[in-house]
Structure 1
Amino acid sequence: MTAARAWWKEAVVYQIYPRSFNDSDGDGVGDLQGIIERLDYVADLGVDVIWLNPVYDSPQKDNGYDISDYQTIYDEFGTMADWEALVEEVHNRDMRLVMDLVVNHTSDQHEWFRKSRQRDPEYEDYYIWREGGTDEDGDPVPPNNWESFFGGSAWEYDEERSEYFLHLYDTSQPDLNWRNDSVRTDIFDTIEWWLEKGIDGFRMDVINLLSKVEGLPDGDPDSEWVGAEHFIDGPEMLSYLTALDEEVLSNYDVMTVGEMPQLTVESALEYADTDGPLDMAFHFQHTKLDYADGERWSVGDWSLPELKRIIGRWQDGLAADGWNTLYWENHDQPRSVSRYGDPENYRRESAKLLGTFILTLRGTPYVYQGQELGMTNADWETMDDLRDVDAINHARELLDRDGVEEYDDVKDIVGYRTRDNARTPMQWDDSKNAGFTDGDPWIQVNPNYREINAADQQADVDSVYSYYQRLIQLRADRDVLVYGDYTDLLPDHETVFAFTRSLSADSGTERILVVLHFDDATETLDLPVEYADATLLEGNYDCDDTDPGTVTLAPYEARVYELFD
């Protein structure tokens, strides 16, 4: 049965990381006018929504996720007038603009925090403050054993207030106290302020961390993220989001997607079912496939059957009442071709394969800038090359843990995992600095921009960019690729992911077969499909095979068939 229609279900989202997208004034940092200059490129790709990473005023300790003023634009990105011009130009091209919403924490430079540390009566309880204790030697210890996602204790002692404050991320990002009614009122007012300025929704950063268990007890010291059981999906989490929806969001025709660490299908249905406060949520299970023993700062082998089990759990679990998000990359994930493809021998083919994956499953696809070109991870030869506070902190932790002194000893794992891989400048052409800036870029440009760039690919009908264009158009033309049911045909096959999408209507049942070969060897197999006729709609190799019963697949080959009974 066709799910209830919504524009955000039928959309393809393009994520822009402003700092690295396009620099219009030569200062080495991308900006809003630079985005405006490149909007035709984004529109020509065929996407419907732009998700804009934070452009609010910020000290940029965590590249904009440390906000010091929610209603001011960071000066290196431009002005509010530039932002207003951007949203107008986006709408003029029949696209929509979704903003990042970061309300678990602020910058320690935010006026609220400055007043809170001074014990201003109005703001004293805006953040989570606690007195620490002492150990048996009389040395100070934090209020509990919770760990920051960026490494180390989640508590920082503030000399001015003489107390510890909670920061689940960097020490410059204190957590807001959502138990305080005034905090929620101020946040809700801010959200409404932006909606009145004409935006079309929010991507909500780590939104399921807002509620902390009362008493802030110690966490399990053996867990992946110590304390997580006390601050992920906390007791008031659903009520906070429900209030936000009822008081603000439901008054506007907007799209909402929550970034939710450790999300399960069950909790996703609480937050984002047909009656939930959100439209959809990001989970991270498939992005951890290459973790060794669940450890992020390690690299392990991954298996296609495990990927299929994860995808099937989400496709089936949200089929009746929920909606999926489909993605490989974002500003926090290394480049997918370098993780799940073959960047050395089959970069173009595996980039197209990965694109086929997200654009043919059930859910809203998210394409991160440069993904449509098959951009790859860069090399990070020294610590000085890194800009990612998370990677720098963990590099230091790895050096201490392993008892080594040289960055070279941890370079491979840090270089593979750092979020900087997603943040190298967009590769526009083969001119200096990849056409990103006339100045010195804030972060290194990947040297392969001479071989991988937008100008070349826009002129090449066989490029990754052109392939994404065709698949996005195919998805727009075929309701079955949006609303159709999902069936995995080969759940245990080690190298081939084959599934069907089917949609029944008064005129009959429309069926699509997708075949994805995740390997660098040729594979011949029989597919368990029944059909009277078939048409090959798209593929990443030259192929006129209209018989999907027995197929011989080239390395990293992708095919999309229409089946007829």
Structure 2
Amino acid sequence: MRLETLATLLSVCSLAACGTTPKEEDPDWWKHATFYQIYPRSFQDSTNDGIGDLQGIIDKIDLFPDAGVDAVWLSPIFDSPQVDQGYDISNYTDIDSDYGTIEDLQKLVEEANARGVKVILDFVPNHTSDKHQWFIDSVNGVEEYRDYYIWANAKTGDDGERLPPNNWISMFKNSAWTWNEERQQYYLHQFASAQPDLNYRNPKVVEAMKDVLRFWLDRGIDGFRIDAVPYLFEDPDLQDEPLSNSTGYNSTDYEYLDHIYTKDLYDTFDMIYQWRQVVDDYTKENGGSTRVLMTEAYTDADKIMLYYGTADGSRLGAHFTFNFNLITDININSTAEDIASSINKWLDGIPEIYTSNWVLGNHDNHRVATRLGPGNIDGLNMVKALLPGVAVTYNGEEIGQEDGEVSYEEGQDPSARDPAIFDQVSRDFERTPYQWDESVNAGFNTGAKPWLPVSEKYLETNLQDEKESNGSSHYKVYQALAKIRSDPILVSGDVEVKAVDEYTLLVKRSNEEASLVVVFNVGDAEVTVDVSADVAEDNSVKIASVDSSREAGSVVDPASLKLDAHEALVIAS
């Protein structure tokens, strides 16, 4: 596909089979929802084997309505050898025994739905495990599966040595090709060598993966988060990729090349549009609420918008594709202008027909309280809650949980199996167990060694203490924010985001009748600011950050508003 063309695109039974048609629900339920990401392996261990499971999530199900969550998204729970903690799937239509059974998932869906909470599954379509029967059959030359994966012949070097087909590099370093002795060919893997890439130029693969979506929709799932979508298609001619000209990388690093032949190809967008058609057709045929697609794509802004669909809306893609600006653009030293610029870049770039979303953290990035400072967690949650569209929370953000402490010997991340780079690249730190209370292993289980160590900070930060606190807490702030998100001002009001001074951020939502404003000092020193242009004299503090001296219902002087370091307020006027 030419670049100019690309630029222009800027239970157990099905509801239908059971003869049940659910009542019609709000098709736009997701547009202002709070989605809560659960990392199941680290959430709650009901069997005391060191690994979180589905029954553990069921046991803690009341957290979600209590926190004001509309939908939970589960990181992968399918059959897997767990080379990459479930992102290497060996069976797309069964649950890994570490987590439970399909019946456990069905029970979770029923319990969540009974509380008004929807359940989203992680769909990992780019690759399977090398233990998947499809790959085994492909290696063995079974005709049906011969071309299910990307296979290529070796090249011969000047000295007659066997070489990979081209210079492509894996996201996890080194060549993206691994030699298979039995088949006498190389196979492509853009991630670990145990994660061979599927061949989406094979119509049988396309239909098989659509059938996976239908299988889980039949079991009451409300949608899917689609993992690593930019990598679905590669150049069929296997051309070498050019150097990136980025400094500080060597020839084994992913960043060494410019990935024009292995990432964000036009066919990838088309595949997302086809999957959207699958879920839309399912909803139309079976009734009930909209089934949602969310896509993960760390890529350029113009391509992120293409994952939503075409600019004119003639073809629809994901209901939303994650907005990672507040992860990739800012750090602990960022000014208010840096944050405002990141937010406005997104607001200015998204077509009006699509819905914004805001993400502060996930299982692949250091926790927001660590990355941007524990003192800023309330202010950041306020900003996220007041911005238009979808809010996404990674489990633990609601209590201000920080990264855990993990040694190289304790680490599990396959991308960090080199001790020299472990501290820089490991994703284990943000995946340590959820901190429920002050009991053994922070209440994750009853004493068995967890798969990753519990953070030493659990005695300072845990859900029970924050819920039972006589004063304010991060969790109580989070709950208060959830309650006001249904305010019409936040659902459809105008939005303005700006820096009042170097370290004071202001987010204003308003309509003709009233306004809600976040004023947030992201700096380390006290400031006094004039916000009288945005906050009326007749005002009231709705929510204050944990360390603020202000009470809910108090009035501020907008012409001379003094804010302590990291203090944040939601003010109604």
- TM-score, length basis structure 1: 0.88
Q: Deviations over 1:406-429 (max 9, x none)?
A: xxxx5xxx4365211221011111
Does residue 284 of structure 1 match 2:291? no
- Equivalent residue for 2:238, pick from 186, 209, 216: 216
Q: Is 2:115 aligned against 1:93?
A: yes
Q: Determine which of 368, 383, 389 is the counterpart of 2:408.
A: 383
CA drift at 1:141 = 2.1
Identify the match of residue 363 of structure 2 among 331, 343, 368. Answer: 331
Cα offset for 1:524? Answer: 1.2
Within 5 Å, give how 1:517-528 maps onto structure 2: 517-527=521-531
**Is 1:219–1:226's contact at 8 Å kept on the other side of the alignment?**
yes
8 Å CA contact 2:324–2:358 kept in 1: the answer is: no
**Contact 1:265 1:318 survives alignment (8 Å):** no
Question: 1:417 & 1:470 partners in 2: Cα distance?
Answer: 35
SS at match of 1:9: helix
Contact 2:64 2:117 in 1 (8 A): no
SS of 2:518's equivalent? strand
Partner residue in 2 for 1:536: 541
Which ranges of 4 or more aligned residues in structure 1 deviate by more than 6 Å?
none
- Equivalent residue number for residue 554 of structure 1: 564
From 501, 512, 515, the equivalent of 2:509 is: 501
CA distance in 2, matches of 1:523, 1:379: 34
Give CA-to-partner distance per residue, 1:257-307, whole Å, 9 cap, x none.
Answer: 11012141454155346552211101434323468xxxxxxxx95444333
Q: Does 1:150 align with 2:160?
A: no
Partner of 2:11: none
2:102 to 74, 80, 90: 80
Matched, 1:424 2:449: no
Q: 1:188 aligned to 2:200?
A: no
Aligned residue in 2 for 1:237: 268
Residue aligning to 1:66: 88
Paired with 2:81 and 2:451, the residues of 1 have a C-alpha distance of: 15
Match of 2:517 among 509, 513, 516: 513
Q: Is the 8 A contact 2:485 2:491 kept in 1?
A: yes
> Aligned partners of 2:31 and 2:279: how far apart in 1?
21
TM-score for the superposition, normalised by structure 2: 0.87
Amino acid at match of 1:520: D
Closer, same or farther in 2 for the Cα pair 1:92/1:552, shift >3 Å?
Answer: same
What is the RMSD computed on CA atoms of the aligned residues? 2.1
Query: Aligned-pair distance for 1:496?
Result: 1.5
Q: Distance in 2 between matches of 1:206 and 1:307?
A: 26
Quick one: structure 1 residues 287 and 509, their matched pair in 2 at CA, closer, same or farther if it must change by over 3 Å?
Answer: same
Shift of 1:239: 2.0
CA contact (8 A) 1:370 1:426 kept: yes
Which structure 2 residue ranges, 5 or more long, are not aligned? 1-25, 247-254, 284-289
AA of the residue aligned to 1:75: S
Structure 2 letter corresponding to 1:455: Q
Q: Does 1:317 align with 2:349?
A: yes
Q: Report sequence identity in percent.
A: 35
Measure the CA separation in 2 of the matches of 1:169 and 1:225: 16
Matched residue, 1:442:
451
Residues 446 and 14 of structure 1: CA distance in aligned 2, closer, same or farther (over 3 Å): same
8 Å contact from structure 2 (residues 323, 359) kept in 1 = no
**Secondary structure of the structure 2 residue equivalent to 1:231:** coil
CA distance in 2, matches of 1:553, 1:265: 37
**Partner letter of residue 258 of structure 1?**
T
Q: What pairs up with 1:194-209 in 2 under 5 angstroms?
A: 194-209=216-231
* Amino acid paired to 1:306: D
Residues 1:488 and 2:497 are matched in the alignment: yes
Q: CA deviation at 1:248?
A: 4.1
Moved more, 433-442 or 135-144: 135-144
- Counterpart of 1:264 in structure 2: which amino acid? A
Match of 1:403 in 2: none
Does the Cα contact within 8 Å between 1:379 and 1:415 map onto a contact in 2?
no
User: 2-side partners of 1:267 and 1:376: how far apart?
Assistant: 29
Following superposition of structure 1 onto structure 2, how do residues 298-377 of structure 1 map, counting pairs within 5 Å?
302-318=334-350, 320-341=352-373, 347=374, 349-377=375-403
Which residue of the other structure, out of 462, 475, 478, is the alignment partner of 1:468? 478
Distance 1:553 1:429, change over 3 A: same
Kindly provide the amino acid, as one letter, of the partner of residue 235 in structure 2: V
Contact 1:334 1:416 in 2 (8 A): no
Q: Is this contact kept in 2: 1:262–1:284, CA < 8 A?
A: no
Q: Which amino acid aligns with 2:540?
A: T
CA distance in 2, matches of 1:93, 1:304: 38
Aligned length: 522
Measure, in 1, the Cα distance between the counterparts of 2:483 and 2:300: 31
- 1:19 has 2:50 as partner: no
